[in-house]
C-alpha cells in the first residue's frame, strides 16, 4: 500500500514538473517570438542628398573615374537602391538635391514610403486549425498585392530621379549650399512620425561648401543620425592638406551619431 502511495505521489510530482517546464518553454518561446517581431518592425528613415554643384557634377579628368561624372554615378546608385534594396514595411526614402539654395521644398527630388499601412498585413493568425489555411491564403494574396503596389511606387521614384538626372547632368549649379541642405531636414528627423525610426543621411558630395562660411560657433544638430559621405573626392581640393582641413571642419560642425567619409573607390 505504501509503495502504491509513493508511486502515485512521484507520478503526480513528475506531471506537475513537466507542466511547469512546458509553461516555462512556452513563455520562453513567446519572449523570443516577441523579440523577433520587434526586430522585424524596425523602420528606417533614409535621406539621400545629391550635389549638383560644379566641383562634383563634372567629368573627372584623372584617376579610376576619368571621364565619369560623380553626380551621374550617384543617381545611378540611388536608382539601384530604390529598385532592388528598398524593403517593404521598413524603409522610408527621401532624395534631395544640394544646389545653390538647398532649403526649399523644390530641393526634394523623390520620396518612397514603404512603411505605409497599405503594405502591412495586420490580420492576426487564427487559433483554430480549420481557419489557418484561409488565413495563409489571405496573407499571400495581400503580400503579392503589396509587392505590386510597391513596385509601382518604386518606378515613380526612379522616374523622378531620372528627370533630376536629365535636368542637371553636366549642367552644374554655381554654389554648394550643403549647410542649409543638412539643416533643412532637421524638422523631418525630429518629427513624431519618425521618432522611432533609425535614421541615416547619405550625402553624395565632395563636402566643399561654397555658399556659406564655417562660423566658429556653427553646429548642425543631428545627434540621432548617422551621416555617410560618398564620392568624397580629394580632386575637388588643390592639395591633400585642404581636403583634410575640410573634413576636420565638418567633423566639428556636425553633431551626429556617426560621421563617415567614403572615397569614390569605397563608394562605388
If one counts the domains in the chain, the total is: 1
Band the pLDDT of 29: cuts 50, 70, 90.
Answer: very low
pLDDT of residue 26: 42
| Contact (Cβ atoms closer than 8 angstroms) between residue 218 and residue 253 | yes
Sheet with 108-113: strands ordered across: 108-113, 91-98, 44-51, 198-204, 220-230, 254-261
- Domain membership of residue 16 (yes or no) is no
- Domain membership of residue 138 (yes or no) is no
Full domain range(s) for residue 260: 48-121+144-267
- Domain membership of residue 196 (yes or no) is yes
DSSP labels for 58-111? SBB-SSTTBT-BHHHHHHHHHHHIIIII--TTTEEEEEEEE-SS-SSGGGEEEE
- Domain membership of residue 42 (yes or no) is no
Mean pLDDT for the chain overall: 85
What CATH number has the domain bearing residue 148? Answer: 3.40.50
- Domain membership of residue 14 (yes or no) is no
CA distances from 62 to 56, 173, 233, 261 (A): 14, 22, 12, 20
Report the pLDDT averaged over residues 206-232. 88
- Domain membership of residue 4 (yes or no) is no
- Domain membership of residue 18 (yes or no) is no
CA distances from 247 to 83, 102, 206, 222 (A): 32, 21, 10, 17
Q: What are phi and psi of 35, to 5 degrees?
A: -65, -40
Q: What are phi and psi of 112, to 5 degrees?
A: -140, 110
- Domain membership of residue 178 (yes or no) is yes
* Residue of 177, 141, 232 whose CA lies nearest to 52: 177
Report the pLDDT averaged over residues 86-103. 89
Band the pLDDT of 38: cuts 50, 70, 90.
Answer: very low
| Contact (Cβ atoms closer than 8 angstroms) between residue 94 and residue 48 | yes
Distance CA(187)–CA(197), nearest Å, equals: 14
Report the pLDDT averaged over residues 142-162. 96
pLDDT of residue 193: 95
| Contact (Cβ atoms closer than 8 angstroms) between residue 264 and residue 65 | yes
Distance CA(82)–CA(165), nearest Å, equals: 15
Amino acid at each position: 500500500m505504501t509503495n502504491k502511495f509513493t508511486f502515485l505521489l512521484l507520478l503526480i510530482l513528475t506531471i506537475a514538473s513537466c507542466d511547469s517546464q512546458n509553461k516555462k518553454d512556452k513563455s520562453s518561446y513567446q519572449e523570443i517570438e516577441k523579440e523577433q517581431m520587434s526586430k522585424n518592425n524596425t523602420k528606417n528613415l533614409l535621406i539621400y542628398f545629391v550635389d549638383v554643384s560644379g566641383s562634383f557634377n563634372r567629368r573627372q579628368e584623372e584617376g579610376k573615374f576619368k571621364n565619369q561624372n560623380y553626380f551621374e554615378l550617384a543617381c545611378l546608385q540611388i536608382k539601384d537602391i530604390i529598385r532592388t534594396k528598398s524593403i517593404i514595411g521598413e524603409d522610408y526614402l527621401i532624395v534631395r538635391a544640394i544646389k545653390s539654395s538647398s532649403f526649399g521644398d523644390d530641393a526634394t527630388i523623390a520620396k518612397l514610403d514603404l512603411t505605409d499601412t497599405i503594405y502591412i498585413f495586420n490580420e492576426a493568425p487564427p487559433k483554430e486549425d480549420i481557419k489557418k489555411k484561409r488565413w495563409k491564403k489571405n496573407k499571400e494574396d495581400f503580400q503579392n498585392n503589396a509587392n505590386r503596389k510597391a513596385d509601382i511606387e518604386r518606378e515613380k521614384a526612379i522616374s523622378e530621379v531620372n528627370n533630376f538626372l536629365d535636368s542637371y547632368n553636366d549642367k552644374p549649379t554655381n554654389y554648394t549650399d550643403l549647410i542649409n541642405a543638412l539643416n533643412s531636414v532637421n524638422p523631418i528627423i525630429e518629427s513624431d512620425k519618425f521618432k522611432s525610426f533609425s535614421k541615416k543621411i547619405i550625402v553624395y558630395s565632395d563636402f566643399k561648401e561654397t555658399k556659406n562660411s564655417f562660423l566658429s560657433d556653427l553646429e548642425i544638430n543631428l545627434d540621432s543620425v548617422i551621416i555617410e559621405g560618398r564620392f568624397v573626392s580629394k580632386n575637388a581640393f588643390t592639395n591633400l592638406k585642404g581636403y583634410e582641413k575640410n573634413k576636420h571642419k565638418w567633423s566639428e560642425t556636425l553633431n551626429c551619431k556617426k560621421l563617415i567619409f567614403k572615397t569614390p573607390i569605397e563608394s562605388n
